[in-house]
Structure 1
Amino acid sequence: MTTHKLTSTDGFVVLDLDDAPMAIGIVRSAPKVLVDGAKWLARSETYRYAFFDRKVSGASAAVNAPVDAKAEAIASFATELAGDAFSTVHLSAGRGISPDDLAELRSRDPRPESWWSERDALTAAGIVAAAGQAAGGLSGRTVAIETFDAMTSLLPEMFRVAGATVIEPDVSEDASAVLHADVDVLVAGSKVGLIGDANASNVVARLIVPSGPMPVTAKALAAFGRREVTVLPDFVTTSGHLAAWPVDGSSTDAAELVGAAIAQVMTHEKGPLLGACEIAEAFLGTWATVPFGRPIA
């Protein structure tokens, strides 16, 4: 894993696999984005693409700038990324960045227009399919959903259409009410390490479906294992958007793509998350050095 410091502005680009034919990830902006967090996001992307048999490195970039200097800093970032040194690095907008900020990078990005226009809906469809596959169907199931962006705002209605009852706890006095809701399925993922050792015991749901990268820490995963709570692999559940960018005959249906992937790992002896890691690592081992450290916070 290599961290490239930018020369035109205060920022960096993390590339997980140095010799990969391309790298894909997001860029975020804030007054101070931590490199360690960016490294975890890059690793998660590596495992996503490896699970689906794609030779892609994860990437994660940042622009560190105060609000009053952000526009100029992001413009400098985009200009530097458009250079030959980053010709195989393809980034989409994360928190603090708008798609328009990266417009000059789109012309060389291999992802089709449908990926950009449909990725939220496809990602959401994959999350619902993952939950349905793991739960043995959603009809009659209760679901609590942490909504925190445009993609997750699509989930409540999609779960209802699938037959689930969506429970909406009052978060006005307790921001963690969703995490602790008395439901069958918890959909969460607003930040890395959202569910850790300190609050895992308060989670009632028997199935946790990530809607963002690495919401469950290693200690929480171990605790859930002892309680027979199932945690799905975030780098699989959130991969519905890959249906808009098929390769080698892969499915163009997000629900089918993710549902089949979850079916593949549900019976793994180490559980679906660690099982998915092993599948990703097996593919990585055919063309690259398997990186040290799994994408588990």
Structure 2
Amino acid sequence: MRIHKFETTEAFIAIDLEGAEASSGPARWAKKILQGGAKDLARSQTYTYAALGMKRGGAAAGISAAPEDRATAIDAFLTEVEPLVANGTYLPDAAKGIGLDELAPLHAGDPRDTARLGDFANRCDGLSAVVAAHHAVGLDAKTVAIEGFENLGPWVADGVIGHGARLTAISTATGTVTNESGFSLAELNEAFAAHGADCVNELGEVGHPMAVFGAGADVVFAGSKVGIIDHKVAERLEGCAAVVPNGRLPLTARSLAVLRKAGVQTPADFVALAGSTLAVWGDVSRSDDEIVAGVREDIGDLCAELQGHDDGLLLAACYFAEAFLMEWQDELPWGRPLAP
């Protein structure tokens, strides 16, 4: 892992691998972005590429600036990062504090299918998360909770309900709402489209955002922030069948140990959220339907490959990714993709 520091603004890129054909990952803005979090996100994307058999690497950028200086800082970032995009050193994805439209000036030099970034990429990540969940435990007749509904929630809801599950709890930054009978997809989509995170106020009695982990669902999707499930939260989930990522790095090493001991299935984030990577690397002439079918098939095949390992799904995925990395890297990068 190396850190590329910018000269014209307070920004950096954490670049995980040397010798990669290209490196990509989130670009974030805040008053202060720390390198540690960027390194963790870059590592997760590296493992996604490796799990998919791509000789590419993860990277993550951070732009630190006060709100009143944000526009100037992002403009400087765009100017300085342009040659790095052109040579594949870093291909940025919109993330916290940076919109897809703000990165549009870089898309001409980006070798990916940039027309599929944004909503369609999110759709594909939602699909791959649902595929991972279904392969892990089967979704038919299961109850499901979605933590951080803003994070792929509508796409995950569509997928789990389509598999015959009952969506009984969701949470946003505003709070948690439950429905033992199960929310309908139409009411969720209507409320979320109109109210965003405040959609929960339209759906029932609202509790604390973390209350979603006590809703008693069979399958819990989580990932509103890195490390959202620590060992104490994991202890509340010991009766679940599976905890599935809908955002990068939701588990810590300690929470993974708690869940493994309890027999809870834990698909890796870098597999469950690989759909967008498949969507943006490929022939730009592909139709949306062709891409969606390819994501469903490829992630399904990968999940089938990982089933039944004694060490569980997440570590099985790590071993699988690392075997590919050793085919073209002199040594493995230090540290697996888990929250600190």
Q: Under a length normalisation based on structure 1, what TM-score does the superposition of the two structures give?
A: 0.93
The 1:67–1:153 alpha-carbon spacing in structure 2 relative to 1, beyond 3 Å, is farther
Contact 2:151 2:246 in 1 (8 A): no
Q: Distance in 2 between matches of 1:202 and 1:98?
A: 35
Q: Post-superposition shift, 1:157?
A: 2.8
Paired residues in the alignment total 295
Q: Distance in 1 between matches of 2:15 and 2:149?
A: 27
Gaps of 5+ in 2: 177-205, 284-289
Q: Distance in 2 between matches of 1:239 and 1:96?
A: 22
Secondary structure at the aligned position of 1:260 is classed as: helix
Q: Distance in 2 between matches of 1:246 and 1:113?
A: 9
Where does residue 23 of structure 1 map in the other structure? 23
Q: Post-superposition shift, 1:201?
A: 0.8
Secondary structure at the aligned position of 1:272 is classed as: helix
Where does residue 133 of structure 2 map in the other structure? 131
Percent identity, please. 36
Tell me whether 1:166 sits opposite 2:167 in the alignment.
yes
Tell me whether 1:231 sits opposite 2:231 in the alignment.
no
- Residues 48-92 of structure 1 show CA distances to partners (whole Å, capped at 9, x for unaligned) of 000111011100001101111101101110110002587311111
Q: Distance in 2 between matches of 1:58 and 1:243?
A: 14
Where does residue 317 of structure 2 map in the other structure? 276
After the TM superposition, list the runs of 4 or more consecutive aligned residues in structure 1 that deviate by more than 6 angstroms. Answer: none
Q: Post-superposition shift, 1:149?
A: 2.8
RMSD: 2.0
Deviates more, 1:77-86 or 1:62-71: 77-86
Deviates more, 1:82-91 or 1:175-184: 82-91
More helix by share: 2
Gaps of 5+ in 1: none
What amino acid maps onto 1:109 in structure 2?
A: D
Tell me whether 1:35 sits opposite 2:15 in the alignment.
no
Deviates more, 1:76-85 or 1:284-293: 76-85
Q: Distance in 1 between matches of 2:256 and 2:85?
A: 39
Where does residue 94 of structure 1 map in the other structure? 95
Contact 2:85 2:109 in 1 (8 A): no
Where does residue 334 of structure 2 map in the other structure? 292
Contact 2:113 2:281 in 1 (8 A): no
Q: Post-superposition shift, 1:246?
A: 5.2
Q: Distance in 1 between matches of 2:129 and 2:60?
A: 22
The 1:51–1:118 alpha-carbon spacing in structure 2 relative to 1, beyond 3 Å, is same
Secondary structure at the aligned position of 2:212 is classed as: coil
The 1:150–1:226 alpha-carbon spacing in structure 2 relative to 1, beyond 3 Å, is closer
Secondary structure at the aligned position of 1:209 is classed as: strand
Secondary structure at the aligned position of 2:209 is classed as: coil
Q: Under a length normalisation based on structure 2, what TM-score does the superposition of the two structures give?
A: 0.82
Tell me whether 1:152 sits opposite 2:153 in the alignment.
yes
What amino acid maps onto 2:226 in structure 1?
A: V
Q: Distance in 2 between matches of 1:133 and 1:230?
A: 10
- Residues 173-207 of structure 1 show CA distances to partners (whole Å, capped at 9, x for unaligned) of 32211122211100001111111122211113220
Secondary structure at the aligned position of 1:13 is classed as: strand
What amino acid maps onto 1:99 in structure 2?
A: L
Q: Distance in 2 between matches of 1:142 and 1:185?
A: 6
Q: Post-superposition shift, 1:131?
A: 1.1
